A and B are shown apart, each in its own frame.
Chain A
Amino acid sequence: MGELTRQFTGRVVVPGTGHGPALVTTEPLSFWGGLDPATGEIIDRRHPLSDRILTGRVLVLPRGRGSCSASGVLLEAIRNRTAPAAILTTSVDPIIALGAVLGDELYGLPLPVVYLLTADAAVIRDGDLVDVDGVGTVKVVPSSSRRDG
């Protein structure tokens, strides 16, 4: 298993640790109108991740999209314990970061947000086990190797 593990270093946007299976998309997602913070379900019906649950997952996406109210929705999800375990983006997105910072400041529930190079993020497949530490190290265990191992 060890030799299949990939490791990347990203830039810490919001510090924290988290791990879980990856939920991967290359489409930007707006949490406002796109995430039900009561259930953690992605409800943007035009989005490829529609119907998926992001709770406890490491969400890998390029960036958020659209409305400024997205940070409020992410904060509701953090409060409701329906938020992802971590968020990896490929561009710095202040709206996502704001929601995560508010969760940390208000509830002491830091949702780690790490900014990765696009080429590194592209290696991560849906279902891979991803571990994010507090200093920007992202470890990825492919799901196939987990099944084989």
Chain B
Amino acid sequence: MPPLATDLAATLFLDNDERAMLAGERGEAARLAMRILVRLAPLYGADRLLPITRAHIDGCIYEGDAGLEFAERLAEHGGRVRVPTSLNVVSLDHRHWRQLGIAPDYAAKARRLGAAYVAMGATPTFTCAPYQTAAAPAFGEQIAWAESNAVAFANSVIGARTNRYGDYLDISCALTGRVPAAGLHLDEPRLATSVLRLVDLPPELLARDDFYPVLGYLIGELASEDIPVVSGLAAAPTDDRLKALAAAAATSGSVAMFHLVGITPEAPSLVDALGGRAPRREIRIDLPMLRRARAALTTSGDAEIDLVAFGSPHCSLAEGRAIARLVSGQKAAPGVQVFLTTSRAVRDLLERGGDLATLTAFGASVTADTCIVVAPLVRPGARVLMTNSAKYAHYGPGLLGVRSVFASTEDCVASAVAGRVTIEDGPWAN
């Protein structure tokens, strides 16, 4: 027997509004969402809930019928989000799934799932980079975000506050406008507990785009249970570089927050990031360690490639334009599938600016709303994936059954044209 509402309320301090939701006075969807939140909150160490200003939902990725039944039940029972809510990628490109060869019954379920969340008042952003849209939070906002890369970016780059919210807890927070008062929503747990010092790195390495996902991948591996502070990044990287770094850190480890001295709002200095405390550990990051992290992202020794992918997290407009400039006037080799995965907003802007035509002429599929690891886009039988994304490189082998080659954007384009791996190691070379 599930515990009674009165038993649940006894484990937490709840305000009148929260009690009304738990008692069903705000509708059945809010009651179910509040029950889930109240049962989970003590496990996070919370003794009360906190109001939030926005949410980002990951539960719209189709994983099976239970997730669909949950979302449709909440929507049927009149569920309405209480805060502005953005949606993560979904499992199909709403406008182009037929051309992409998606099975109709799969497409129908993926579409129903997205529609249920939209019916509850969520905005159909359908992107894993909500921080590069109007849904971005400001410094200090309490938010309930799902999607590991977005969580890491919100905490570490913006200074908004969120824990990693798992599937279906995200919508429970959005429907109640509350989160458990615990973890990264509070001051003390956000302080850094270990120091990662960049030492003796050549400036030309820090000037390359592919330095940032490699650094992130290493940070995730080294972080363990710590919140790391990284010192030694001289100039502030672009948002796109920080995006690649945060996504990689959240891929190789369960990193929800890190500090970059001089970049993270809460880390004007190393001492500030640590809150004046001594770190538990201090690790030097040098070029050989970064070389090893870069090498770990490549699991294929073949020269052949079947697939080149950009856009995990979703490409920004700047990234899409940069790739269009690189591919302009060229053609991908026959037999090599090329994907640029992005949001519908960015795809529309690429179309208006003429970049979409350039990318399409190259042979790239520019998909909206989804990506290659949550929708069946990759041709069956593909063996080797080449990508500039640490996240794609990491998840490709498990989720797509491919081996990965990680390289710079320029090398990915050159390889797509050549139909075989072409890499200039530059400052990465031994």
Tell me the A residues contacting B by CB distance below 8 Å.
13-15, 33, 37, 44, 65-73, 75-76, 78-80, 92, 94-95, 97-99, 101-102, 104-108, 110
Contact = CB atoms under 8 A, between A and B. Distances in A.
A76 B32 CA distance: 18
Given A33-B398, A94-B44, A68 B148 contact: yes
B299 to A, nearest CB: 12
B4 interface: no
Interface centre among B146, B168, B399 (most CB of A within 10 A): B168
Q: Taking chain A's interface residues, is the majority helix, strand, or loop, or is none over half, making it mixed? A: helix
A13 B43 contact: yes
Contacts of A97: 40, 43
B58 A69 contact: yes
Nearest to A15: B3
Interface string B145-161: 01010000000000000
B254 A66 contact: yes
A87 B146 CA distance: 25
Interface in B129-167: 146, 148, 164-167
Nearest to B163: A94
Given A37-B64, A69-B61, 20 more contacts: A15-B3, A33-B395, A44-B398, A69-B166, A71-B168, A72-B63, A72-B66, A72-B166, A72-B167, A76-B64, A80-B64, A94-B166, A97-B40, A98-B169, A101-B39, A102-B36, A105-B39, A106-B66, A107-B66, A110-B2
Contacts of A79: 64-66, 69
Interface in B1-51: 2-3, 32, 35-36, 39-40, 43-44
Contacts, number: 90
A68 B165 contact: yes
Contacts of A71: 166-169
Contacts of A92: 43
* Interface residue range, chain B: 20 to 34
A111 to B, nearest CB: 13
Nearest to B45: A92
A117 B40 CA distance: 21
A73 B63 contact: yes
29 contacts: A33-B395, A37-B63, A65-B254, A67-B148, A68-B165, A68-B167, A69-B167, A70-B166, A71-B167, A73-B63, A75-B168, A76-B63, A76-B66, A79-B65, A80-B64, A94-B40, A97-B40, A97-B43, A98-B166, A98-B167, A98-B169, A99-B166, A101-B36, A104-B2, A105-B2, A105-B39, A106-B70, A107-B66, A108-B2
A37 B61 CA distance: 15
B168 A98 contact: yes
Main SS class of interface, B: helix
Contacts of B73: 106
B40 A98 contact: yes
B146 A68 contact: yes
B66 A68 contact: no
Nearest to A72: B167
Nearest to B182: A94
B67 interface: yes
